[in-house]
Chains A and B, each alone.
Chain A
Amino acid sequence: MKKKLWDPIFGGIMIGIAMILTFYISGRGLGASGALTAFAASIQNIVAPSLNQSSKYFSKYFANGANPLNDYLVYLVIGVMIGSFIAGWVSKDLKFEVLKGPNISSKGRLWYALIGGILVGYAARMARGCTSGQALVGGAELSVGAWAFMFSIFAGGFAVAYFIRRQWI
């Protein structure tokens, strides 16, 4: 039996405390997408280094011999993986599976996951952050851009929800 989930208010307070700690200790916010993009750029640096050198966006990642993986957010994301794994373990939720609604095949669901991932990967860079680094952190800093970002996420999700309902409900 899977363990019961936390109350969302309690979960929110815990995540809020994690955010306060990064500011109190490091003077900056947490985030997730930055580490993934650093990882993507690092793979590209092995497979096709010329693409990074010619990219105005990625070349600064490696300027003066820098390693984008030696970054605060990368260490934080390593912690996220450890924490989620432990939580999955203690709550008996470690399992290879595809979660989806009843009206779609697993293969169909994985195509949606791929397309959604590409869109989010692109959009997180356009918005300079994701739900963690931009919406939560910027939201707590009362950033106008971050609040606009967050409401736009809901707008985009609600706009498309009807057309993809087969996947979820």
Chain B
Amino acid sequence: MIGPLIKNGIISEGVNTLCAVLIGVLFGYALQRSGFTNSKKIAGTFYMKDVDVPVVMFTAITTASIGLYGLSLLGLLDLGKFYFLPSYLLPMVVGGFIFGIGMAVGGFCPGTSIAAMVTGKLDAMVFVGGFLLGSLLFGDLYPLWDKFYNSDANGVWRIDQLFNINLGLAIFLVTLLAIFGSLGMRKLQYKFWGKND
């Protein structure tokens, strides 16, 4: 069976929706078991006190990247039927900076706040309330940032295209970056906070 299954007409819309719920269950289960329902752990990233969050993120990214590329090399996945996210560089940099401030202040990101909310974390419930307000603020006052939001549009723009290298080589380099980034951050954590924290 060649993926994406829904776009190749192998499964129905109903099965696709059911799969979305089941994949969500896996995602939510993994977030909780990785400790991501704990705002202290997430915020600990920004003090280098606990670097599990970036280690999990880097591992997830490289797992998915290698897996998807491998499936396409095996002819099991048609990358041409993929939805690639477009790059709007400047809005993403500014959005990312504000996002990071909000994450350090609030102790969550959207996915982790949802996962934490259902396990009873009151700070996560308040964070989700704030998120709803913040996104309404963006949408209701949209004319104020409409122009900026749509600026610096680069379409689908990948690292292999940026450096003009082969896609497989780009994935290899990103994997190296993830491994050495994770090891480096862990080293800093131990240096600043010791091994037993």
Bound complex: CA of A120 vs CA of B104, how far in Å?
10
Interface of B is mostly: helix
Residues of A contacting B171 with CB < 8 Å? Answer: 142
B61 and A119 within 8 A (CB): no
A20: nearest residue on chain B (CB-CB)?
B67
| CB-defined contacts of B115 to chain A, threshold 8 Å | 80-81, 83-84
Residue of B nearest to A126 (CB): B95
B123 to A94, Cβ gap below 8 A? no
**In the complex the two chains form, what is the Cα distance from A30 to B5 in whole Å?**
16
CA distance A106 to B126 in the complex (A): 12
CB pair B7 A130 closer than 8 Å:
no
A interface secondary structure, majority: helix
Supposing A8-B59, A26-B20, A79-B28 touch, asked if A141 and B158 sit within 8 A by C-beta, the answer is: yes
Interface status of B180 (Cβ within 8 A of chain A): no
Report B-chain residues with C-beta under 8 Å of the C-beta of A93: 32, 37, 119
Asked if A137 contacts B85 (CB within 8 A), the reply is: yes
Mark interface residues in B6-42 (1 if CB within 8 Å of A CB, else 0). 1100010000110111111111111111110111100
Q: Closest chain A residue to B24 by CB distance?
A: A79
Residue among A19, A84, A98 making CB contact with B114, cutoff 8 Å: A84
The answer to whether A23 touches B4 (Cβ under 8 A) is: yes
The 10 closest A-B pairs by CB, nearest first: A116-B106, A79-B24, A117-B130, A121-B134, A12-B59, A156-B100, A16-B63, A152-B96, A83-B28, A127-B95
